[in-house]
């Protein structure tokens, strides 16, 4: 993710009006609901599901940045943004949050479904809010780094990273020192009993979430300290754009007691994806309109590693996970022996795609890469990857 010094702001008309940007935002949101509905389905748990959603939003972002022209003049219209979105959403998948959905219903379990106690519903909403904060916030930080309003040098990068690490470390220390602030009935010693597996799971989950939240807070504090208010706004919008639907959407879990045969969990996940996608669209509208007449430099290394490698790797993850999810969803145990073969096939396909991308990128003339109308990604490739994601969703 490269840094460039700010230049004189000049408004450029890109052929898009407010209705176009509204449509872009709605598409980001609706497709986000689809992405997040797949995330968490068989084969797409954890980081694998995050990789799928991140890849989908990254392709939409790059595609819409090229729509209407002036992609190179858009502050966040270059290939590094794809890497930022993919890495941010995938990184968020390293945390779990399923144990807190029962708290939203006012139910606290010692070892689900045994040992239920009533608990304040606010505890569940708070835990889900914190999970959404870091998922969107860290992604927003990576995005903001792609186009800082204020230039930053090597020393600034060191301080930025150290700020995030310090935030993660201090937050984890605070949570471990004060678990009673986050975990119901902690003073009763329930979390020390080996048989209370759900309690132990909640303890581990909140300690996993803590450094992720602290990482975001550390990055945010650094941008506030150096007064890069555009970065602060991007990070805040993305954090709240995920945290609010994470928490409010938790209300879907209260429908389990109803007679309607609806997948309430999936409605909650789709709410998260919808809200997260709308936050992407809002950032796109507010901060990604072309305002700079200077074409942003694009290096071949950035094109190969920052975009090509991650794009190929996550596409491989999507195809492999779709196969895994297909087996689990349809209980096709006879296909279990094919998993290794499919994995090898996906790896070889991704490797071939990456080598081809590398060769083509190296052969491109550097002047051509800087041309205002030269696409960050070929539109056909963007559509193909989105089609793979949609197909993966239907398969699973």
Element (H, E) at 177: helix 154-177
Mean pLDDT of the chain: 86
DSSP letter for each residue of 328-355: HHTT-GGGGGGHHHHHHHHHHHHHHHHH
Q: What are phi and psi of 163, to 5 degrees?
A: -65, -40
Distance between CA atoms of residues 124 and 187, nearest Å? 18
- Model confidence pLDDT, tens digit, residues 286-345: 999 888 666 566 778 888 888 888 889 999 899 888 888 888 777 776 666 677 777 788
Could you list the beta-strand ranges (E) of the chain: 107-111, 114-118
Encode pLDDT of 73-82 as tens digits.
888 888 889 9
**Within 10 A of 98 (CB to CB), how many other CB atoms are there?**
11
Q: CB–CB of 144/235 below 8 Å?
A: yes
**pLDDT score at 306:** 80
> Residue 5: what pLDDT?
46
Q: What are phi and psi of 183, to 5 degrees?
A: -120, 120
Nearest Cα neighbor of 290 from 38, 74, 67 is: 74
Asked if 216 and 243 count as a contact pair (C-beta separation under 8 A), the reply is no
């Amino acid at each position: 993710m490269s840094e460039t010094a700010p230049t004189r702001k000049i408004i450029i008309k890109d052929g898009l009006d407010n209705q176009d940007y509204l449509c872009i935002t709605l598409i980001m949101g609706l497709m986000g609901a689809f992405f997040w509905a797949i995330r968490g389905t068989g084969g797409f748990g954890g980081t694998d599901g995050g990789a799928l959603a991140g890849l989908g939003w990254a392709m939409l972002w790059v595609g819409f940045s090229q729509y209407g022209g002036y992609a190179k003049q858009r502050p966040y219209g270059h290939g590094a943004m794809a890497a930022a979105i993919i890495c941010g959403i995938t990184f968020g998948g390293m945390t779990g949050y399923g144990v807190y959905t029962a708290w939203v219903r006012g139910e606290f379990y010692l070892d689900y479904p045994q040992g239920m106690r009533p608990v304040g519903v606010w505890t569940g909403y708070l835990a889900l809010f914190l999970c959404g904060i870091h998922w969107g916030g860290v992604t927003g930080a990576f995005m903001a780094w792609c186009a800082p309003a204020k230039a930053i040098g090597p020393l600034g990068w060191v301080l930025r990273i150290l700020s995030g690490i310090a935030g993660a470390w201090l937050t984890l220390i605070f949570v471990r020192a004060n678990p009673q602030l986050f975990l119901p009935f902690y003073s009763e010693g329930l979390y020390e009993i080996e048989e209370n597996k759900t309690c132990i799971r909640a303890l581990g989950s909140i300690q996993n979430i803590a450094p992720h939240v602290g990482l975001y807070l550390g990055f945010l504090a650094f941008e506030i300290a150096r007064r890069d208010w555009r970065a602060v706004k991007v990070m805040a919008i993305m954090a709240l754009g995920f945290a609010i639907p994470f928490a409010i959407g938790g209300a879907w879990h209260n429908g389990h007691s109803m007679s309607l045969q609806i997948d309430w969990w999936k409605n909650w996940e789709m709410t998260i994806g919808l809200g997260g996608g709308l936050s992407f669209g809002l950032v796109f509208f507010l901060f990604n309109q072309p305002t700079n007449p200077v074409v942003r430099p694009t290096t071949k290394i950035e094109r190969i590693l920052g975009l090509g490698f991650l794009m190929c790797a996550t596409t491989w993850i999507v195809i492999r996970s779709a196969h895994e999810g297909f087996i689990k969803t349809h209980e096709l145990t006879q296909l279990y022996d094919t998993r290794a073969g499919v994995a090898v096939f996906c790896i070889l396909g991704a490797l071939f795609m990456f080598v081809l991308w590398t060769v083509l990128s190296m052969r491109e003339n550097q002047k051509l890469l800087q041309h205002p109308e030269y696409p960050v990604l070929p539109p056909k490739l963007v559509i193909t990857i989105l089609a793979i994601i949609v197909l993966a969703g239907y398969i699973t």
